[in-house]
Each structure stands twice: as structure tokens, then as C-alpha cells.
Structure 1
């Protein structure tokens, strides 16, 4: 049982407009999705700009189309910058923004907490599956 949650811990949520709340939920969903999180991690690990082709190589399993879509979304959210160099052929580089780095640190902390408790989640699911099976 959780007993130490401050009653004001989520009061800030009440100050958000419906549009701001929707945007915050969208960002949370994106930040926890497989590809955006992986892309941000690769960019953070690189510690500098990375060309699209290098990013495609390092984000294992992603298609060119999905990488393009994810990068556009990350850029529109201010988590990644895109720099186009006007040369032939055009060169495009992507880099994690400070905002993206901050978000990644927060998500990594949550991910670590979840990963450390996987056995607890597995036990809970096994209990739940057993209880569901018995009640049928």
C-alpha cells in the first residue's frame, strides 16, 4: 500500500488547460514509445550531430520511413534538431536538444525502476492469470 504520496503531488496537473494536458499526454506516449526513445538514446550516446544514414544504421530494426516520421515528430516537439547543409548532395544532421536530453534522463530513470521490478510485475501477472483461470 502506498502511504507517502503528497496530496499536492499532482496539483500542477489541475493548472493545465485541456489542450496542455492533451499535449503532455502525447509527449509522454511518444517518450515511452520504442522508436523515439531508441533514436534519442542513440543521439545522446553519439554526443553530437549524426547524419540520417548513420542514425539509420545505429537504430537497429527501424525502417527508413519510420525513422523519417519519428525524427519529424521529435523535431516538432523540440527534442531533436535538424540541420540541413545546402550542398550537393544535401547533407542533413540530427542532434538531441537539451530538452530532449532532459526528457531522456527522466525516462531512463523510470525505465530503470521498471526494469528492476520486472520480477514483481511477472509475479503479479502470474497471480492475475491464475485467479482469472480459477474463476472461469
Structure 2
């Protein structure tokens, strides 16, 4: 496949574009949790204790920008914001499942046990 430019960035293949949208440490875990239920920011933070507030905010904004996550703001004080996965985001879940299964296989191969 030839190189292509998207949003001013040069990509060498479609995998690179996909990983730019859903890759990294936190985007897939966020989508994984939102696939099960609509969540508030604080709930996501609770289920992802190692992510910083700045990183969670950044990742949610990027996922929203690319159409994987929807953000709903309720006009109350203090602000009430809920995040949900979109149809586009749901299309990523089978990919996450495959990567997750492969990661578990790798863990087993190298002798790493999952924490309960």
C-alpha cells in the first residue's frame, strides 16, 4: 500500500492509522470499560487507578474527537458528565478481545500470572 496523508500526518500503512486512533496504554482499556456501561469520569478513574487525571482527560478527548466515545454533559452544579461508547467504538471491541487473548497467551508463555 502506498503512503498516505491524513490530517497532515504521513502514514505508511493502515495499521499505523488504526493504532494512532486506538493505540497506547489507555485507549483500549477505556473503550473496554465503556463497552459494558455508561460511566462518569470518576468511575473511569476508579477502574483505571494508574492513569493520571491529565492522561484520562486527554485520552477521552481523543477518543471523542475520533468518534469512538460520546460525552454527555448535564447542566447541573456541580457538572455531571457521562461517557458512553459509540457504534464506531463498539467495532473496536472484537479487536481488543483478540489483542487481549494474545496478551494472555504471551503472559502464560513467559510465566506471568494474572492477579485475581
Q: Say yes or no: TM over 0.5.
A: yes
Distance 1:48 1:42 in 2: 7
Distance 1:18 1:26 in 2: 10
* Deviation digits for residues 100-130 of structure 1 (CA, Å, limit 9, x no counterpart): 12112113213313532553xx6xxxxxxxx
Q: What residue number does 1:80 align with? A: 69
* 1:112 counterpart (87, 94, 101): 101
| More strand by percentage | 2
Query: Helix, strand or coil for the counterpart of 1:33?
Result: coil
Distance 2:53 2:6 in 1: 31
Is residue 2:5 matched to residue 1:18? Answer: yes
Which structure would you say has the larger Rg?
A: 1
Q: TM-score, normalised by structure 2?
A: 0.74
* Deviation digits for residues 42-100 of structure 1 (CA, Å, limit 9, x no counterpart): 111xx332111111111121111110000000101111100111111111100111211
Q: How many residues align?
A: 105
Unaligned runs of 5+ in 1: 1-12, 123-136
Q: What residue number does 1:38 align with? A: 29
| More helix by percentage | 1
Coordinate RMSD, CA, aligned: 2.5
Q: TM-score, normalised by structure 1?
A: 0.64
Unaligned runs of 5+ in 2: 111-116
